[in-house]
């Protein structure tokens, strides 16, 4: 269908889907129109979560087409609304939408008037009866409500700071403008808006709205200048021109590589092929071609993003300003909140109740200023001191009476473990000393895990579970930054040497660790069932940039038997796929990884010796899932151009995606100081790839 539409003189039986903000206006102007068969109100605020807006509107369209067989046209009481309506399509009915960026155009009567007003008054915050009823816009009432919530959750000491952060975004506004369309109780809403403006120190303005667009929308007068009428199977795409949007075939509705947000098919919503985030990941793990390449960000401690980059990404996508939660303080990884996941199309969800590497749980979030000046939230158990030179020291289990276990230089962006290794007396070495951190899982841990499972089931994303105490010599854990006074072998170099010179000791440690793990596995499975699609078993690195930390023979003798007991139990009793992290040049070990029972390899360090993507896919791609490898975080992503990032992402997807067996993720975590333009280029390139499939 072209973008031309003929005004309809006899409106067909029509249904309306509209944001609750326009409830009063639609109710007033639709009164007496007997061809309006159904009105469906959507919750206010979905424009802040465009992927969810798309999902909810699409589901409403599907319901109407199924339940209202007489309806021939569906009118959308939306504009583009953060591009949340981009991609919606009907199978049977016509869809009608105004050429508008958001509902303010509908209230003012034309997009030209809206643009002119904003050009003259760029700091305008809009008020209307619907906004006042459903949103609680900026003002004293909002401030007091939000402040009390912060006091209840974080205490008075932190509430003032958090309110300062919450109010930060108001500083870009200086005018409260009320749009009056003559609906009921106008004086009350005008008075409320004036009070908000006075309290905020803004100027106040009243603009009389124009009912032209709303009446035309409801009365079937859908001219091409103001509306798009979509035939079944067609949808809209945003343009930069005055027409605001154009019509495209639904199968071509993916966004181009330079768009601001990623393609729909990588988000947690039904795809044209019936895919959801969960199904998308399951298909990839089962080596079936999914409807789109699934995307992971933040489901594991090796597939996340530095907190500074999370903040930059939130700002880029225009999400509500808020301090980022540092959930993994060792690497200063930022929590990927639900609004960001939806904005960029993350398909995964983390299940992790085991706490942090420094031995404390994430709870009672508290403000903290990083050495680089970022305001973040950390657990109340996150205890640090700063020396005269600005270096930061963190303490195990939040106990400042114990020696510090982590160190962040004043110019650094993450913590390094402090080696607290007393001189080793081989005659007194006891394997039990290296088992202090391994114990039966607690009821409290299992209870938190059940809560995480419930949250994951509500998100419809693919859940990834981090299994505690099963890593076998993970070099990040050997120094035991979570213990106050660690014993045993805790020096990293000493540990690596011991895998050769003290193999009996290492065997004894691994044997005892696996016995504990085998007792824990059934209890964990009872708590989570088969909700997780994958379990992060171990992060033990076996590769350097150019070689391996051990020979194939040493892996087979020292590691494989113990890993295999755990993976055998998992494969015999669950549907979980086993996730193995190892950086470096591990290609010579991959056959053994597969025999050991590892289903997934992360981060797929393609720049390391022997890790050519085409070779890996051809040789192991039908037996290993590559979770990572999407873009290099050592060179291309932090130091390349956006175009170089795009080209590498497209190349990696072309190589790894065919036939499934690929979950897109960066090669390990996105590091601090990575340009946000490059991160966006990565996301856009993934969207571009998924869009042409």
* Same domain (yes/no): 246, 284: no
Q: How far is it, in rounded angstroms, from Cα 603 to Cα 584?
A: 9
* Same domain (yes/no): 33, 99: yes
pLDDT computed for residue 304 by the predictor:
97
**Residue 339, SS3 per DSSP:** helix
pLDDT computed for residue 257 by the predictor:
31
The DSSP output letter for 317 is: T
The phi, psi pair for 185, rounded to 5°, reads 60, 35
Q: How far is it, in rounded angstroms, from Cα 687 to Cα 468?
A: 34
* Same domain (yes/no): 506, 624: yes
Q: How far is it, in rounded angstroms, from Cα 357 to Cα 371?
A: 20
* Same domain (yes/no): 232, 290: no
Q: How far is it, in rounded angstroms, from Cα 81 to Cα 104?
A: 10
Q: How far is it, in rounded angstroms, from Cα 90 to Cα 229?
A: 11
Q: Is residue 655 part of a domain?
A: yes
User: Of 520, 592, 534, nearest to 563 (Cα)?
Assistant: 592
Q: What is the sign, positive or negative, of the torsion defined by CA atoms of 394, 395, 401, 402?
A: negative
Q: Is residue 679 part of a domain?
A: no
Q: Is residue 326 part of a domain?
A: no
* Same domain (yes/no): 343, 219: no
Q: How far is it, in rounded angstroms, from Cα 555 to Cα 549?
A: 10
Q: Which domain holds residue 523?
A: 277-305+336-361+423-667
* Same domain (yes/no): 481, 534: yes
Tokens 């027409």 appear where?
243
* Same domain (yes/no): 288, 217: no
Q: How many CB atoms lie within 10 A of CB 531?
A: 21
Q: Is residue 528 part of a domain?
A: yes
Q: How far is it, in rounded angstroms, from Cα 670 to Cα 241?
A: 35
3-state helix, strand, coil split of the chain in percent (to 5) is 40, 15, 45
Q: Is residue 623 part of a domain?
A: yes
* Same domain (yes/no): 216, 294: no
* Same domain (yes/no): 247, 350: no
CA angle (356, 360, 362) in 5-degree steps: 70
**Residue 570, SS3 per DSSP:** helix
Q: Is residue 393 part of a domain?
A: no
Largest CA distance in the chain: 96
Q: Is residue 284 part of a domain?
A: yes
* Same domain (yes/no): 230, 288: no
Q: How far is it, in rounded angstroms, from Cα 139 to Cα 143?
A: 6
pLDDT computed for residue 260 by the predictor:
39
Q: How far is it, in rounded angstroms, from Cα 588 to Cα 140?
A: 64
Q: How far is it, in rounded angstroms, from Cα 432 to Cα 514?
A: 13
pLDDT computed for residue 327 by the predictor:
96
pLDDT computed for residue 78 by the predictor:
94
How many structural domains compose the chain? 2
Q: Across the 693 residues of the chain, what is the mean pLDDT of every consecutive 10-residue run?
A: 46 93 89 92 83 87 93 95 89 95 93 91 89 71 71 68 56 86 86 88 93 93 94 87 85 39 34 69 96 96 97 94 96 96 95 86 94 96 96 97 96 95 92 92 89 82 93 93 96 92 96 96 95 92 92 96 98 97 97 98 96 97 98 95 95 97 98 95 94 54
Query: CA 4, 8, 9, 15: dihedral to nearest 10 degrees?
Result: -170
Q: Is residue 146 part of a domain?
A: no
Q: Could you tell me how many residues make up the chain?
A: 693
Contact indicator for 328, 303 with CB cutoff of 8 Å: no
* Same domain (yes/no): 299, 220: no
* Same domain (yes/no): 499, 544: yes
pLDDT computed for residue 167 by the predictor:
56
Burial of 32 (0-12, 13-18, 19+ CB in 10 A): exposed
Q: Which residues contact 484 (CB under 8 A, 6 or more apart)?
A: 396, 397, 399, 402, 403
Domain of residue 545, CATH code: 3.20.20.210
Give this prediction's pTM: 0.65
């Amino acid at each position: 269908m072209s973008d031309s539409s003929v005004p309809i003189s006899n409106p067909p039986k029509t249904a309306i889907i509209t944001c609750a903000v326009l409830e009063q206006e639609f109710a007033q102007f639709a009164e007496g129109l007997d061809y309006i068969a159904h009105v469906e109100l959507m919750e206010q605020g979905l424009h802040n979560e465009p992927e969810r807006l798309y999902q909810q509107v699409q589901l409403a369209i599907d319901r109407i087409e199924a339940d209202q067989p007489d309806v021939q046209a569906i009118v959308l009481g939306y504009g583009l609304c953060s591009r949340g309506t981009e991609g919606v399509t009907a199978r049977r009915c016509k869809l009608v939408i105004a050429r508008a960026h958001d509902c303010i155009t509908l209230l003012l009567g034309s997009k030209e008037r809206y643009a002119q007003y904003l050009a003259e008054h760029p700091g305008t915050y809009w008020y209307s009866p619907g906004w006042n009823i459903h949103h609680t816009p900026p003002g004293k009432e909002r401030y007091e409500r939000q402040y009390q919530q912060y006091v209840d959750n974080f205490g008075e000491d932190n509430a003032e700071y958090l309110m300062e952060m919450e109010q930060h975004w108001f500083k870009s506004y200086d005018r409260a403008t009320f749009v009056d369309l003559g609906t009921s109780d106008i004086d009350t809403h005008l008075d409320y808006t004036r009070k908000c403006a006075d309290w905020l120190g803004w100027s106040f303005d009243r603009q009389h709205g124009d009912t032209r667009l709303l009446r035309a929308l409801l009365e079937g007068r859908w001219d091409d200048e103001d509306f798009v009428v979509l035939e079944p199977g067609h949808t809209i795409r945003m343009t930069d021109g005055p027409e605001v949007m154009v019509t495209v075939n639904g199968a071509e509705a993916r966004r181009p590589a330079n768009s601001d947000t990623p393609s729909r098919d990588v988000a947690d919503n039904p795809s044209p092929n019936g895919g959801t985030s969960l199904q998308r990941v399951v298909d990839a793990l089962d080596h079936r071609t999914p409807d789109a390449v699934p995307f992971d960000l933040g489901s594991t401690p090796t597939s996340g993003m530095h907190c500074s980059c999370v903040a930059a990404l939130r700002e880029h996508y225009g999400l509500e300003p808020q301090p980022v939660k540092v959930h993994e303080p060792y690497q200063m990884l930022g929590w990927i909140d639900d609004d960001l996941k939806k904005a960029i199309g993350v398909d995964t969800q983390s299940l992790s109740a085991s706490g942090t590497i420094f031995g404390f749980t994430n709870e009672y979030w508290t403000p903290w200023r990083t050495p680089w000046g970022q305001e973040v939230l950390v657990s109340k158990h996150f205890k640090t001191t700063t020396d005269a030179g600005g270096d930061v020291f963190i303490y195990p289990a939040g106990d400042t009476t114990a020696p510090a276990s982590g160190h962040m230089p004043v110019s650094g962006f993450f913590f390094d473990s402090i080696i607290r290794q007393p001189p080793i007396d081989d005659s007194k070495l006891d394997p039990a000393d290296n088992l202090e951190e391994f114990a039966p899982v607690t009821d409290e841990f299992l209870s938190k895990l059940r809560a995480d499972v419930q949250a994951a089931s509500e998100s419809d994303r693919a859940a990834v579970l981090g299994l505690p105490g099963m890593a076998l010599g993970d070099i990040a854990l050997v120094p035991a930054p979570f213990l106050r006074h660690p014993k045993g072998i805790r020096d990293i170099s000493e540990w690596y040497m011991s895998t050769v010179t003290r193999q009996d000791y290492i065997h004894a440690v691994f044997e005892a660790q696996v016995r504990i793990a085998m007792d824990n596995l059934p209890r964990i499975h009872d708590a989570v069932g088969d909700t997780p699609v994958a379990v992060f078993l171990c992060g033990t690195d076996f590769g350097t940039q150019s070689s391996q930390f051990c020979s194939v023979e040493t892996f087979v003798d020292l590691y494989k038997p113990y890993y295999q007991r755990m993976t055998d139990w998992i494969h015999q009793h669950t549907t979980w796929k086993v996730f193995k992290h190892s950086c470096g040049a591990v290609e010579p070990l991959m056959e053994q990884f597969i025999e050991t029972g590892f289903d997934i390899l992360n981060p797929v360090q393609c720049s390391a010796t022997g890790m050519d993507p085409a070779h890996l896919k051809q040789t192991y791609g039908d037996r290993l899932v590559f979770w990572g490898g999407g873009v290099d975080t050592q060179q291309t992503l932090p130091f390349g151009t956006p175009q170089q990032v795009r080209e590498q992402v497209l190349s990696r997807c072309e190589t790894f995606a065919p036939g499934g067996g690929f979950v897109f993720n960066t090669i390990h975590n996105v590091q601090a100081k990575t340009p946000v333009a490059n991160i966006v280029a990565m996301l856009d390139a993934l969207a571009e790839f998924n869009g042409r499939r």
